[in-house]
Structure 1
Amino acid sequence: MHLLGPDLDADALRALSRRLKAAAESGRPLDSELARRVQALHRALFQGELQGVLARLREASSGGPVLLRLMLQDADLQGFPWEALCEPGKDFEFLGNSASLLPVRGVRSPEPWQPREVRGAVRLLAVAPLHTHSLPRLQGTLHESLSSGEIEWLEPLTGPRARKAAFFERLRRQPEPHILHFIGHGGLHEGKPVLRLADEEDEESWVPVELLAQQLHGAWGKGPLRLIVLEACEGATPGPLASAAELLTRTAADAVVAYLWPVRMDVALRCSRAFYRALTRAAQQEGDVALSLNEARRGVLAELEGSAEAFSPVLYLRGRDPVLFDFKARRVSPPPTPALRAETSHPPQSLVRLLEQPFTLLLGDRWEEEEPSFRGLRERLQGELIQKTGHVSHELPLSTLAEHYALRIGQEELDYEFQEVFGQTEFMPPLLSLLARRLGAGVHITLLRLPVLEQSLAEHHPELTLYVIQPSSSADGHAVMMRREAGTSRWERLHKVPASLDTERDGVVLRLCSGYLPAHLFSRPLLTEDDYLLGIRGLSSLLPFELVDPIQGALSLRPLLLVGLSMLDWCHRMLLYQLFGRRTLQRGSMAVLDPGIHERELWEEGRGLPGRTGVRALESTDAELMRWLEALSAGRIG
């Protein structure tokens, strides 16, 4: 035992921890002063007898890495990012990415520890009670490991499946996972760690982590579960007794990866991709969780130019050995490809029937959420809010984040940030071109803030006169209108309602969320929570009086094809109600859903839909839907 020195007392460690956290939250590397401080702490810690013990352990390991178990009791010491300590004289030899030292937070537990023999794929169960959009991104990030058969993606728990009763019921059923990956909210309630599950009747539902750990132990304590990844706020934040990660490690799993501080979603995905690839790759005989997390941190440091965000993920370990999985008898084979499914080559007849008749397309904004360049808007808003307030959750929906930004920094600045990101991109989802070919005269609706639907319609239907209507954001009914005459390429802005508009002959695009119109004309978009609450009303108050009846008539007479929407997105539900009131959607309507969001029954049972009457729901990837549309256009089907 030795003292760190007078310059490294408890107050100094707390101050250093705060500075490291601030660097991580703003996505910055360590500045020269921070680098000097973490090197000084490394020098003060590894000296005297400890340095001698470490040298002997390295010698005994025959060149392999040495496990450094930090048995921390004090809350300040538990919350300190020891992984950021850097070897003096080196710029990037941090403990968190070291090839020779593997730092873990040791947990004392009476529960036995042993590696789990895995003969095939490592089974992963993802739980995302509120962040449905995170699941396709996580699944996409793990594509390489999933397609090789190294990881098996179990049916995730989200929405109603992630309510307390349904979650606990899932613990009684097969297949049992080797890894549980939780994406959501965490916190402290009266000093005790809690996690938020799916809401019960619009009431927030929080479960004490101690109780959850007991449930997991009772269900899977003797089963294959070895690892929990806790992608939640304050997952590694110590309470008066323990953090959520420590409680879960004591009782529920041999190891828990958790985050000291919030990180950007794309950083968490980078970390998950590298971590799971290192942990489960088929070429190795064992899955070493500590070695894999160090490798993941190294990847984040390299890809993000030394960002301090790499030090947020930390590892809690129950035993003395970080090897969780024994792969010696493993045989990995790729899973059956989706192309073997019957519906992959032949679309459902219900979709064929819909596409063969006049229909209305309602296009959601899912692609904007997934587009990497548009995620830059979220990062810009978060970065400025952190500078302004010192902290902002990285899990806020974009509408909530934008609301915070507008209130604290200003609406004009928000408009500027939107134009900086959206006004300088060539965004065009490939699926839209194929959808536009199937469209004709009538009313179509887009929630995208860029005019990609209008552009696709103009390209594929030069014979149509096209009208674009952007409803007024105020009660004056002064909608913005544009027209492109058949056979021309020029868009003109209209200053009065055209007497010749005929929804049976012309194409009409309603732009409900505003943004950019054709010819790059900017209009303030619906972006904040107040925008949706105050700017969305029924069509009768959004449109000029002369257009209300023809447009409502067109919407009520044709079936809808809904693409890129989620029933769990409150903005989408609100827009549907404003369009249709309490009227049910036309018979034959269909929602095409991303397979990763698992909300088919919500659409089919009509929960959250106008009129509470369901529609057909088809789960399909964009690639699969594109193949069907191409086959229909070529006359190979139907």
Structure 2
Amino acid sequence: MSERYQAFEILILRRMDGVYPLRAKGSGDTTYGGAMTAGVVDSLDADHWLEQALREPATMCELGGRLFGALFKQEILEGFRSELAAARALGLGLRLVLTVEPPELALLPWELLYDEGAEGFLARSAATPIVRHLSTRRSVRPPIQGNALRVLIALAEPKRLPPLGANYQEVHSIAQALSRGQIEVDVAPTLLLDRIGRGVRGVGAALRALFVGRGRVRVKLVEHATRSKLKNTLREAERAGQSYHIVHFIGHGASNESGGYLILEAKDGTPDPVPAEQVAELLDGTGVNMVFLNACASAREGEAGPDFYPFRGVAQACINLGIRAALAMQVDIVDRVAGEYAYEFYSSLADG
């Protein structure tokens, strides 16, 4: 499958007269219209379905099928099939770009869209990746230039919260993925080894080789991440003209009626909840292109309400700041899955 794609954009508008209007656009500015009925959407209790799916994977197919049926109706479905066939005829993939305006619908796991009997899970196929799009009031930062890539891994493990022992496997997964290349990396592997433990001594050697064709890569680990540690590390790199392209956070996060937040560490090691807007402020002016937020609920926005502000989710706040991309979890994830996801993501980067 070619890495080049055409786009099929779907916009879900806010609720009007019991329905959610849909607008879609394919290649050549071809447009399609439709609507989702509020009753169908209201029946989708995503949290309940996802909890069931962890115990019975087949449930995930059923949830994905319901989401697909709610979104792809009549003209939209016909347009999707037509655009996908046209893209395949050209040797291209079809990227599904979703813009979800209603906050209550943004919480639904659209990444699970399941086309029964045809495409299966869309997001699992290289031919039909799914991307969420968020409008931003600020200009998007320019893409990474040149071959060098700099990654900052921030670990926060506050007292009185569950330990992150299992999450250190994720750091190992990152190291394994990046080791696919053959370029020396600037990093202190002993620091990782001491922190992660004897079970992953291969990390040191793995971190010495990276990214075929990319040039030198710097991977920096910030442990016991506090606001000041993160801010100073990012500012120093920016002043030196060596801004980090990716900030990867591993730790705890949550959301409530007031919005989303990450939990860093205070100076005394106790939890320091940082609201979404303040997380974005820490990254502002640092040149960061992308954030990877591996924290439970780190992509969840606050409870939807009449005065809901659409960028309260941490990922949303980062996009609103002008950061090009944000990867975040909408639900609690299994540690093994977090490690596997990190491995696949960084493997893709290593493959170019």
Is the shorter-chain TM-score for this pair beyond 0.5, marking a shared fold? yes
Q: Which residue of 2 aligns with 1:244?
A: 314
Gaps of 5+ in 1: 285-638
Q: Which residue of 2 aligns with 1:115?
A: 143
Equivalent position to 2:325, from 255, 259, 263: 255
**Hey, what's the Cα distance between the residues in 2 that align with 1:35 and 1:212?**
35
Q: Is the 8 A contact 1:25 1:262 kept in 2?
A: no
**Hey, what's the Cα distance between the residues in 2 that align with 1:252 and 1:185?**
24
Q: State the Cα deviation string for residues 21-56 of structure 1 (Å, max 9, x = none).
A: 113444x3124xx63453254244223322343345
Q: 1:110 to 1:9 in 2, by over 3 A?
A: same
Q: Which residue of 2 aligns with 1:537?
A: none
**Hey, what's the Cα distance between the residues in 2 that align with 1:68 and 1:11?**
23
Equivalent position to 1:149, from 206, 210, 234: 210
Greater relative contact order (Cα 8 A, min sep 6): structure 1 or 2?
A: 2
Q: Is the 8 A contact 1:40 1:88 kept in 2?
A: no
Q: Which residue of 2 aligns with 1:182?
A: 249
Equivalent position to 1:84, from 112, 127, 134: 112
Larger mean CA deviation between 136-145 and 231-240 belongs to 136-145
Partner secondary structure for residue 215 of structure 1: helix
Q: Is the 8 A contact 2:151 2:220 kept in 1?
A: no
Equivalent position to 1:209, from 276, 283, 298: 276
Equivalent position to 1:158, from 223, 244, 247: 223
1:277 is displaced (CA, Å) by: 0.4
User: Is residue 101 of structure 1 aligned with residue 128 of structure 2?
Assistant: yes
**Hey, what's the Cα distance between the residues in 2 that align with 1:55 and 1:156?**
45
1:104 is displaced (CA, Å) by: 1.7
Q: 1:40 to 1:137 in 2, by over 3 A?
A: closer
Partner secondary structure for residue 297 of structure 2: coil
Q: 1:252 to 1:181 in 2, by over 3 A?
A: farther
Q: How does 1:540-551 map to 2 (within 5 A)?
A: none
**Hey, what's the Cα distance between the residues in 2 that align with 1:68 and 1:42?**
12
Q: Is the 8 A contact 1:25 1:261 kept in 2?
A: no
**Hey, what's the Cα distance between the residues in 1 that align with 2:218 and 2:335?**
20
Letter in structure 1 aligned against 2:121: F
**Hey, what's the Cα distance between the residues in 2 that align with 1:133 and 1:18?**
26
- RMSD in angstroms over aligned alpha carbons? 2.7
Q: Which residue of 2 aligns with 1:504?
A: none
**Hey, what's the Cα distance between the residues in 2 that align with 1:249 and 1:273?**
23
Letter in structure 2 aligned against 1:138: E
**Hey, what's the Cα distance between the residues in 2 that align with 1:165 and 1:78?**
32
Q: Which residue of 2 aligns with 1:489?
A: none
What TM-score, normalized by structure 2, do the two folds share? 0.68
Partner secondary structure for residue 91 of structure 2: coil
**Hey, what's the Cα distance between the residues in 2 that align with 1:163 and 1:38?**
38
Partner secondary structure for residue 274 of structure 2: strand
Gaps of 5+ in 2: 1-32, 158-162, 180-205, 303-307
Q: 1:117 to 1:237 in 2, by over 3 A?
A: same
Q: State the Cα deviation string for residues 274-323 of structure 1 (Å, max 9, x = none).
A: 11101331xx4xxxxxxxxxxxxxxxxxxxxxxxxxxxxxxxxxxxxxxx
Q: Which residue of 2 aligns with 1:50?
A: 76
1:135 is displaced (CA, Å) by: 6.8
Q: Which residue of 1 aligns with 2:47?
A: 18
What TM-score, normalized by structure 1, do the two folds share? 0.39
Of Structure 1 and Structure 2, the greater strand share is in: 2
Q: 1:38 to 1:219 in 2, by over 3 A?
A: closer
Q: Which residue of 2 aligns with 1:72?
A: 100
Equivalent position to 2:153, from 110, 122, 126: 126
Q: State the Cα deviation string for residues 360-399 of structure 1 (Å, max 9, x = none).
A: xxxxxxxxxxxxxxxxxxxxxxxxxxxxxxxxxxxxxxxx
1:99 is displaced (CA, Å) by: 2.6
Q: State the Cα deviation string for residues 176-214 of structure 1 (Å, max 9, x = none).
A: 221111011112365122211112325431222212212
Letter in structure 1 aligned against 2:279: L
Q: 1:36 to 1:171 in 2, by over 3 A?
A: closer
Q: Is the 8 A contact 2:170 2:338 kept in 1?
A: no
Q: Percent of counterpart pairs with the same letter?
A: 23
Larger mean CA deviation between 52-61 and 73-82 belongs to 52-61
Q: Is the 8 A contact 2:248 2:293 kept in 1?
A: yes
Q: How does 1:291-306 map to 2 (within 5 A)?
A: none
**Hey, what's the Cα distance between the residues in 2 that align with 1:134 and 1:253?**
29
Q: Is the 8 A contact 2:67 2:110 kept in 1?
A: no
**Hey, what's the Cα distance between the residues in 2 that align with 1:201 and 1:29?**
42
Q: Is the 8 A contact 1:126 1:135 kept in 2?
A: no
Q: 1:279 to 1:93 in 2, by over 3 A?
A: farther
Q: 1:269 to 1:10 in 2, by over 3 A?
A: same
User: Is residue 2 of structure 1 aligned with residue 2 of structure 2?
Assistant: no
**Hey, what's the Cα distance between the residues in 2 that align with 1:36 and 1:201?**
46
Q: Is the 8 A contact 2:298 2:313 kept in 1?
A: yes
Q: Which residue of 2 aligns with 1:274?
A: 344
Partner secondary structure for residue 219 of structure 1: coil
**Hey, what's the Cα distance between the residues in 2 that align with 1:243 and 1:47?**
29
Of Structure 1 and Structure 2, the greater helix share is in: 1
Letter in structure 2 aligned against 1:3: A
Q: 1:262 to 1:37 in 2, by over 3 A?
A: closer
**Hey, what's the Cα distance between the residues in 2 that align with 1:64 and 1:184?**
38
Rg larger for: 1
1:263 is displaced (CA, Å) by: 1.3
